[in-house]
Amino acid sequence: MDVLNGKKDYTMADRDELSDKEVEELKSRGIDFSDIPELTPDYLETLQRVVPRDYYKVVPVKKAISIKLDADVLEYFKAKGKGYQTRINKVLRQEMLRETAPSYGKENLSSKREEDS
The pLDDT tens digits of the residues spanning 57-91 come to 777 889 999 999 999 999 999 999 999 999 999 99
Average pLDDT over the chain reads 79
Rounded to 10 degrees, the C-alpha dihedral 87/84/74/58 comes to -40
| CB atoms closer than 10 angstroms to residue 78 | 14
The pTM of this model reads: 0.42
pLDDT, one tens digit per residue, over 100-112 is 887 776 665 555 5
